[in-house]
Structure 1
């Protein structure tokens, strides 16, 4: 055979082998890729749509607790990081469900944050999903748990606070009955009985007021309120106890605009602040009430020359039934609810209340409330519907003239 022909045939055969080799490689790669797709975890039909409609955080893990699927809420809660379940208590539940196939409902308190600096309460439902997977549903119950704890504490505190004066009244009544032949003792115990009954009445009234404050929607039921009148009324109600201790009660400044809210609630809040200032101030001192306005914010400050509040107590001073000095509060007639009522009222009005205090140098409570815009603060005397209509009309006029 001609050497040239032999070389040409060898070249053709080599080329054909090369082409076949490349084709075989591509087929092999395609088959391998198809094999991976087939082996990928697949969710049961319709499971994804159902999970998306639940509105809960969910995690789906495989046989080795790798995260197959998780929604954004699970990542936001910090339950999942990358493809890993973060919290070992959750993995303990998935292992148990995988072992016995029984659905578990459990509530856990879990650390939250990169360093576990906070915590959250989640209700978990862990159940089998198909033959291979475990589904974890998580419902954030942190706020619900906090509210329930506050409610339970409130009930317990109310029971305790009511028990004290009721018990004292019962004991004093028995003592008076036993001392019927001793007029001096009867008079002395009767005065104490009167004091305890007044304390009980004040406590019940504060509980009623706190309930009323929490139940009223100031945004919808409120009206324009002149804080100058509110402060004048609150100060007037504190005149007698101030005069009894020779405390100089002074008001300075004036507010140019009104605020939106409830006149009675605001009067009650400022009366509590002024009453506290008078109650915890020594005789022959001064309590000042200052009114000012800046950048659409009405500011009222109540300053006393009393005993002051230590820094460690200032953060808790607005808690229900919290007292810096329980014995002194009993002597002064405090119920422990006054500042809690103040906090609720001011917050409901879109404002804030702050405290500055130093032991031995007195305290200053500062209340800030948003003022109504000029031209929209003269709706006093109108019904809610009329006031809303007038406001909308004025707003339309402003927009039309722009």
Structure 2
């Protein structure tokens, strides 16, 4: 064949291949743009609007569990990374729903972050949507579950704490009846019964007080209060136990501004802190109460000379019924609710309470409450000091 003719044919074929390649590339680009600009046709019309309005995290996955759509919440919960569904529990659920065609619901507890510090509890619902997609809805139930756990623990702890003094009183009453002819034994058992009944009364009162604090709106009873006066009232209320243990309570410093709050609640909180310091300090020691104003906050610190608290225990001492040493708490007559009451009262007033302590060096509990903003502070002189001994 003529070489010139062969060259011409080869050129025509090359040109045709080139033109076909360009056309194919253009068609591919056009198709990609159309796919990017349009919603997935297999998902029913309006689904995106409905998903955005339901108030839950959602994920739509395809037939191979590739993420087609996902809400910001699903990324925040760690359910989706990039275009991948992460939790293996969800992958198992989507496989079963795809196989059986039945909606599945489950509550999952997922670790937060790679270090597993804390967990998130999600109620998950998985269902088929459209022709080939799976819809996953996730609702955060962490706070609800935590509240339920606290409630169950509270009921269990109350039952346990009430059982001890009630059982002791029952046994002592039987022993008292059997020892009716022994005057010394009668006096001994009667004293024990009086002590247990006092403990029972204190426990019931603290339970009622804590329940009232959780159900009362502080704003309804709030007014301008002078913290200096409330602390003096709290010291006076603890005078008897202080005298019994030969403990001196010394108050120093002052708070300059007023605080907006419930005087009765705040006095209860300060009384509990001072009473706690008296109980855990050695007999014949001193409890210090310091007052000051700093950065617009009223600060009240209560310092004892007790055994101190280990660092790992300090995060838990404000929990209901938590005791570092149960035997010592029974000996001192504590109910395990005093610090929990303090925490609730302070939180209700927009403040905070924290503790500094080291074993063998005592403890200092500090309450900080926001002072009212006034142009003329009349609550007291910053250089004033007051001393009260109990």
Change (3 A) 1:56 1:293: same
Q: Which runs of 5+ in 2 are unaligned?
A: 1-7, 380-390
CA positional deviation for 1:34: 5.3
Partner of 1:198: 198
Name the counterpart of 2:227: 227
List alignment gaps of at least 5 residues for structure 1. 1-10, 380-402
Distance 1:315 1:84 in 2: 38
Query: 1:112 corresponds to which residue?
Result: 112
CA drift at 1:221: 3.6
- For residues 340-361 of structure 1, give each alpha carbon's deviation from its aligned partner in whole angstroms, at most 9, with x where no partner exists: 0001111111111111112222
TM-score by length of 2: 0.88
Whether the 8 Å CA contact 2:308–2:362 is kept in 1: the answer is yes
Q: What's the CA shift for 1:290?
A: 1.0
Kindly indicate whether the alpha-carbon contact (under 8 Å) linking 2:299 and 2:368 is maintained by their aligned counterparts in 1: yes
Measure how far apart 1:101 and its partner are.
0.6
Structure 1 range deviating more: 262-271 or 221-230: 221-230
Residue 206 of structure 1: how far off its partner (Å)? 0.1
The residue number in structure 1 matching 2:171 is 171
Q: Per-residue deviation at 1:375? A: 4.4
Q: Quick one: distance in 2 between partners of 1:31 and 1:311?
A: 68
Secondary structure (helix, strand or coil) at the match of 1:364 reads strand
User: 2 CA distance for matches of 1:284 and 1:170?
Assistant: 35
Give the Å deviation of 1:38.
Answer: 6.7
Aligned to 2:84: 84
Which residue of structure 2 lines up, in the alignment, with residue 70 of structure 1?
70
In 2 relative to 1, CA 300–30 (structure 1 residues): closer, same or farther, beyond 3 Å? Answer: same
Equivalent residue for 1:312?
Answer: 312
* CA 175–247 in structure 1, closer or farther in 2 if over 3 Å, else same: same
Residue pair 1:218, 1:348 contacting (<8 A) in 2 also: yes
Shift of 1:246: 1.6
Distance 1:33 1:339, change over 3 A: same
Looking at structure 2, the residues matched to 113 and 361 of structure 1 have their Cα atoms a distance apart, in angstroms, of 38
Q: 1:121, 1:141 within 8 Å by CA — same for their partners in 2?
A: yes
Matched, 1:298 2:289: no
Structure 2 CA distance for partners of 1:165 and 1:141, relative to 1, 3 Å: same
Match of 2:218 in 1: 218
By how many angstroms is 1:30 displaced?
4.6
Match of 1:288 in 2: 288
**Aligned counterparts of 2:111 and 2:328: Cα–Cα separation in 1:** 40
When residues 328 and 118 of structure 1 are mapped into structure 2, their CA distance, relative to the original with a 3 A threshold, is closer
Q: Cα gap change, 1:38/1:299 in structure 2, threshold over 3 Å: closer, same or farther?
A: closer
Q: How many angstroms apart in 2 are the aligned matches of 1:240 and 1:116?
A: 49
Determine the C-alpha separation between the residues in 2 that align with 1:110 and 1:171. 48
In structure 2, the residue matched to 1:241 is: 241
Give 1:174 deviation, angstroms.
Answer: 1.4
**TM-score, length of structure 1 as denominator length:** 0.85
1:80-136 residue CA offsets vs partner (Å, 9 max, x unmatched): 111001111110100111111110000011122244443211110000112201111
41-50 or 293-302, larger mean C-alpha shift:
41-50
The DSSP-based 3-state class of the residue aligned with 2:282 is: coil
After superposition, residues 8-27 of structure 1 pair within 5 angstroms as: 27=23
Maintained 8 Å contact 2:257/2:378: no
The 3-state SS of whatever aligns with 1:274 is helix
Contact 1:224 1:378 in 2 (8 A): no
Q: Distance in 2 between matches of 1:250 and 1:44?
A: 74
CA distance in 2, matches of 1:220, 1:23: 82
Using CA pairs under 8 Å that are at least 6 residues apart, name the structure with larger relative contact order, 1 or 2.
2
Deviation at 1:173, TM superposition (A): 1.3
| Cα distance in structure 2, aligned partners of 1:309 and 1:81 | 43
> Aligned to 2:52, what secondary structure does the other structure show?
helix
Task: Report SS of the residue matched to 1:368.
Answer: strand
Secondary structure at the residue paired with 1:155? helix
Map Cα deviations across residues 268-290 of structure 1 (whole Å, 9 max, x no partner). Answer: 00000000111111122111111
Larger deviation, residues 129-138 vs 40-49: 40-49
Match of 1:121 in 2: 121
Matching of residues 3-402 of structure 1 within 5 Å? 27-33=23-29, 37=34, 41-42=40-41, 43-375=43-375
Instruction: Give 3-state SS (helix, strand or coil) of 1:366's partner.
Output: strand
Contact in 1 for aligned 2:281/2:305 (Cα 8 Å): yes
Contact 1:224 1:377 in 2 (8 A): no
Offset at residue 220 of structure 1 (A): 4.8
